[in-house]
A and B are shown apart, each in its own frame.
Chain A
Amino acid sequence: MGGRVGEWAGTAKWFQEMKLITCPLNGPRNASEFICGGPVKAAPPPDAPDRDWADYLFLEDNPAGRVREWWCHLPSSYWFIVERDTLTEEILDTYPADRLVGGAAS
């Protein structure tokens, strides 16, 4: 199903304007099926002072450019990684989260 949407995208202009995200598990799906869970960042150690936890929770790099984020495909509850550009709205890469820890790539 996702693949068929991708094929049509080349032929119909309005389809190109529909935002698709390629889920590593489910293929290309409409962006409205996903939520953004925020940037990938390292949590402080559990015994870190409150200040460090507050900074971790609230302070953002919020860059204009390339970001690496957690996203979830809601219908399948599947969390994965999206790399995208916040200036151009391009999706640059999507992959399973295990690649972050050097695990098997998809």
Chain B
Amino acid sequence: MPLNLLWRGLRPGINRRRWLPDTPALKRRYDVVIIGGGAHGLAAAYYLATRHGVKDIAVIERGWLGGGNTARNTAIIRSNYLTPEGVEFYDLSVKLYRGLARETGINLMYTERGHLTLAHTDAALRTARWRAEVNQHMGVDSRLVYPDEIARLCPQLDLSDRPHLPIMGALYHPPGAIARHDAVAWGYAHGAARAGVEIHQGTEVTGIDVAGGKVQGVKTSRGRIGCDAVIQAVAGSSSRVAALAGFKLPIKTIPLQACVSQPLKPFLDPIIVSSSLHAYVSQSSRGELVMGGAVDPYPLYKQRSSLDFMERLVADILELFPFLGSVRMMRQWAGIADMTPDFSPVMGPTPVEGYYLDAGWGTWGFKASPAAGLTMAELVATGRTPEVIRPFGLDRFSNLRQVGEKAAASVGH
């Protein structure tokens, strides 16, 4: 071994710069237990500890930190939704994302690329116009553009009348961004741990103790924990964990698949979504094309990828960018999405007192991580539901007050 390496290795403190402390022993009791160590659970822990001084928190994660859908998502961040409720909520997240690298001290590689939702039919154009109106009303930068301007924003798109469905226009959302998904989870984990939060990886929640309608604690694979409050943030496992607490959710668990190509020289600036073709693509900072579409056709808890998906997706992408025909695919994978009937989340109190829900994130929840964490933290710390998430309560289904976001969330995540 070269001497200078040996010398560096033996210097005191070399191993001290760890991102996270070792998993500590489980205590018998915490003020708050957070189930799920994805970006949502970690963000909630971070904001509870840093904004509300609630530091006696255990984040309980079955697998490893950020290894669920957070690790599998295609990292698109935007706020050009359809409903005023949705736009307001997601725009809060965009604002938090903009300052998050500085706040957590970790480079999230947050880059605003611009986001184009292509319309290939009259109906899609009508939806785009509707979204633009709502977005502008809510102060979000978003407008309708036509092929001449699309050609300037993304000259690589096939704007001719050759494709089966030629491009008629698009909803253009300049703040549309992508970020490094692992960094978001690690940034929150690091910040939370520094503020005193315990993160328990490799620990599964196997039961919820409820007595007198109030949560008393959780059973885990490493023993029982007592607590005053629980936040459930387990995405694809939402129905299974809620069943442990004794209630049902308006959720179906359905795989969402994605894939990346071999790395190419940077050529694609904006994020391109086509709801008519059910496909979207962006180019990552290391040059890979990151591609995906809508969820699979039926509910499933298996995180498998399929040839059907790949064939359909590639055919659609080639309609948009015919010159990609000889590009090789590198990886294909799936996550399991907790889909709601109206494509909006389910957040807030539940039938069990002290048990709070952060679920229904389907295919759209990565961008929501900061706003969901911030508002769930406020809810748990104050006992009051923040206005911005009030429309997303579990009771909206029995009150017949759904927040329909399908037109803005089913393909472009």
Contacts and interface: CB of A to CB of B under 8 A. Distances in A.
A18 B307 contact: yes
Interface string B68-110: 0000000000000000000000000000000000000000000
A60 B239 contact: yes
A44 to B, nearest CB: 13
Given A36-B297, A50-B400, A55-B398, A62 B307 contact: no
B301 interface: yes
B248 A59 contact: yes
B398 A62 contact: no
A64 B336 CA distance: 12
B372 interface: no
Contacts of B306: 19
Nearest to A55: B398
A86 B398 contact: no
A89 B299 contact: no
B392 to A, nearest CB: 14
Interface residues of A, number: 24
B129 interface: no
B307 A54 contact: no
Interface in A26-53: 31-32, 35-36, 50-51
B308 A19 contact: yes
Contact of A51 (B298, B301, B398): B398
B301 A60 contact: no
A48 B299 CA distance: 28
Given A19-B308, A86-B253, A89-B304, A62 B341 contact: no
A7 interface: no
B137 interface: no
A87 B253 CA distance: 11
Nearest to A14: B307
Contact of A62 (B251, B298, B304): B251
Contact of B308 (A32, A63, A67, A88): A32
Contacts of A60: 239, 248-252
A12 B400 CA distance: 51
A87 B239 CA distance: 14
Interface size class of B (residues with CB under 8 A): 20 to 34
B302 interface: yes
A35 B297 contact: yes
Interface string B157-185: 00000000000000000000000000000
B398 A54 contact: yes
Given A51-B398, A54-B397, A61-B239, A86 B251 contact: no
Contacts of A54: 397-398, 400
Contacts of A51: 398
A63 B302 CA distance: 12
A59 B302 contact: no
A49 to B, nearest CB: 10
Contacts of A88: 302
B406 interface: no
A64 B249 contact: no
A64 B240 contact: yes
Task: With a 10 A CB-CB cut-off, give which of A31, A62, A64 has the most chain B CB atoms.
Answer: A62
Contacts of B298: 36
Contacts of B252: 60, 62
Given A60-B239, A61-B248, A62-B251, A17 B307 contact: yes
B250 A36 contact: no
B300 interface: yes
A50 B299 CA distance: 26
B265 to A, nearest CB: 33
30 contacts: A17-B307, A19-B306, A31-B308, A36-B298, A36-B299, A50-B398, A50-B400, A54-B398, A55-B248, A55-B397, A58-B341, A59-B249, A59-B250, A60-B249, A61-B248, A62-B240, A62-B249, A62-B251, A62-B252, A62-B299, A63-B239, A64-B240, A64-B253, A64-B301, A86-B253, A86-B299, A86-B301, A86-B302, A87-B301, A87-B302
Interface of B: 239-240, 248-253, 297-302, 304, 306-308, 341, 397-398, 400
Given A62-B240, A64-B301, 7 more contacts: A31-B308, A36-B297, A59-B249, A60-B249, A60-B252, A61-B248, A89-B300
